[in-house]
Amino acid sequence: MNDPCIFADAFNFFMYDGRQVILPEQLHSLDAAEIAIPYMADGKGYPIQKFRDNLKYLAAMQDEHTAYLLLGTENQSEIHYAIPVKTMVYDSLQYASQVDAVGRRFRRHLKAGEGHGYKISPGEFLSGFRREDKLLPVITLVIYFGPEKWDAPIGLHDMIEITDPKLLLFIPDYRINLISPYSIPDAKLDQLHTSLREVLLFIKYSKDKNRLRKIVTADPHFLSVDRKAGQVIKILTGSDFEIREEEEKIDMCKALEDLKEEGRQEGWQEGRQDGIRKLILKILAKNQFSYEEIADMTEMSVEEIMEIDRSAAGQQ
């Protein structure tokens, strides 16, 4: 997700229905550590630090004006049942950090004499934030890389028991921005322009092998999937297909066929071993041959024959 093309694609998909409003070259990576120093009753500052997955600065022209935004992602391989609070903390720390930076910058200007002639009010002095100062908006996008339906809260109100609508009016609801493959129609995923589409589509049907095979074989995009996307698919879905060192693009159709053939081979091998075991049990039941003779006939070790005999005796 740190790749600017993938990052921009995710936000364009979620915010603009796939229109290419945010361009990769407009994004600049920032330190993903969110640090703020809230002041307690004793006046002392206590640093708090949290680490986002990704944070980027955007400067883009919108409606004839330049929009400055901070965009962050939280990548979830598992459902997080407190994600509204988690993202709220990240965003709050980012805003607190901006307020602190503005205050420190203004105080430096005052000390250097650059603020000469500006009359600061007691409220501005106390907050370290002037009347005309502004914050950069922060938008956090949660991306769930799992096939299950997202059944966790999507807002702070979902995490509290109060249902009285009058009371809820006084409790700000912090709702998350969520991408979850399960709830996105396949046609909607076509609004993605990078390999993020193939990743989310594969994940969506990873638990339904028949449906997955039909979708992958019918979609030409899966004939040439980026290596990184293939690695993400392999890790997140537990698919044991091979990715060769020299491959920059992966044919997911072939990967699925290789897995299918491997499954057939494993099934044949398991069936063969089960057949040999049944044969050995029949020979042992006749009490006509020694362990050594049976081992020679079946090309198995004496220890394996003895283990089969012991396990059969234990089941009787």
What is residue 62's predicted lDDT score, i.e. its pLDDT?
61
Q: What is the pLDDT of residues 76-131, one digit of tens each?
A: 999 999 999 999 988 988 888 888 888 887 777 767 665 555 677 888 877 778 88
Is the pLDDT at 245 greater than 60? The verdict is: yes
Residue 301 or residue 106, greater confidence:
301
Choose between 313 and 80: higher pLDDT.
80
Residue 268 pLDDT greater than 60, yes or no: no
Distance CA 305, CA 302 (A): 5
Predicted TM-score (pTM) of this structure? 0.73
pLDDT tens digit sequence for 178-222: 999 999 999 999 999 999 999 999 999 888 888 888 888 888 888
Output the pLDDT for position 113. 62
**Residue 43 backbone phi and psi in degrees, to 5:** 85, -5
Mean predicted lDDT score pLDDT of the chain: 82
Q: Is the pLDDT of residue 306 over 90?
A: no
For the cut 70, the answer to whether the pLDDT of residue 266 exceeds it is no
Q: Which two tokens stand for residue 183?
A: 């709830």
Q: How far is residue 110's CA from residue 99's CA, in Å, rounded to a whole number?
A: 17
Least confident of 26-30, 51-55, 73-77: 51-55
SS3 content of the chain, % helix, strand, coil (to 5): 50, 15, 35
Q: What is the mean pLDDT of residues 2-11?
A: 94
- Residue 48 main-chain phi, psi, to 5 deg: -125, 135
